[in-house]
Chains A and B, each alone.
Chain A
Amino acid sequence: EPEVTQTPSHQVTQMGQEVILRCVPISNHLYFYWYRQILGQKVEFLVSFYNNEISEKSEIFDDQFSVERPDGSNFTLKIRSTKLEDSAMYFCASSEETASNQPQHFGDGTRLSIL
């Protein structure tokens, strides 16, 4: 069964450094998402992406964050200057259609640790 893959599984970065989290969504999917889960807290929406542009973003997704689909297969999340509070598990998801019609499929996540 096709799946969403995320790399790396664990990223350790010094505070203030840039980090890029990578995701390969399922190939025929059109909608892409990033979520994060701070340890012990709920999964929070960051951003959704459709037709090569952001369709919605949360208040967490400030100017330090950006997303890109650089080619036909990858979907990346960049954090420009990481802060300690960016430490979390980041999940990528994709869906063929909107969530009410087709479920979002999640990757296994990237654990980001900021030192």
Chain B
Amino acid sequence: GNSVTQMEGPVTLSEEAFLTINCTYTATGYPSLFWYVQYPGEGLQLLLKATKADDKGSNKGFEATYRKETTSFHLEKGSVQVSDSAVYFCALSDTNFGNEKLTFGTGTRLTIIP
């Protein structure tokens, strides 16, 4: 079955540091890949997505590239801010019609200190 493995947390960084959160996946087909973010007390919000190999998703300074050869979708940001403190979830959806559930990783808690 499908699975997502992401970097264990928690991760603590200083403001303006470079961020990488690793994510690798196992899937039978050609999944779409997502990063969701959960701010304290809130639901999951889509941060970015990529639907095919070599696509780069980007939003709010975050980027992730769909790497089929390494089955990875690592999240990066060049200079993090305190407001980026949240839990980040990597997820995939199988593109088989009728099987579009999201499979999530365990989440990585990120704390940015001023």
Interface residues of A (CB under 8 A from B): 4, 6, 31, 33, 35, 41-45, 48, 55-56, 58, 91, 93, 95, 98-101, 103-109
- By the criterion CB–CB under 8 Å, are B34 and A103 in contact? yes
Do A99 and B93 touch across chains, with their CB atoms under 8 A apart?
yes
9 contacts between A and B (CB under 8 A): A6-B43, A33-B102, A35-B102, A42-B104, A42-B105, A45-B103, A103-B34, A103-B46, A104-B46
Q: For B91, B95, B98, B101, which residue has the most chain A Cβ atoms within 10 angstroms? A: B101
Residue from A44, A99, A100, A108 within 8 A of B43 (CB atoms): A108
Tell me which of A4, A101, A104, A108 contacts B102 (CB under 8 A).
A104
Nearest-CB residue, chain B, relative to A92: B43
Q: Which residue of the partner chain A has the closest CB to B45? A: A106
Report chain A residues within 8 Å CB of B49: 103
A91 touches which of B41, B43, B91, B107 (Cβ 8 Å)? B43
Determine whether B69 belongs to the interface, using a CB cutoff of 8 Å to chain A. Answer: no
Cα distance A115–B101 when bound, in Å?
30
Give the CA-CA distance A57 to B11 in the complex, in Å.
Answer: 33
- Chain B 90-114 per-residue mask, 1 if CB under 8 angstroms from chain A, else 0: 0101010111111111110000000
Contact of B89 with A by CB under 8 A: yes
Bound CA–CA A113/B45 (angstroms): 24
Q: Are B102 and A45 in contact (CB under 8 A)?
A: yes
A56 contacts B107, CB within 8 Å? Answer: no
Interface residues of B in 15-65 (CB under 8 A from A): 31-32, 34, 36, 41-46, 49, 51
Contact A55 B46 (CB under 8 A): no
Q: State whether B51 touches A56 (Cβ < 8 A).
A: no
Complex: chain B residue closest to A105, CB-CB: B46
Q: How far is the CB of A33 from chain B (nearest CB, A)?
A: 7
Across the interface, B98 reaches (CB within 8 A) one of A56, A91, A107, namely A56
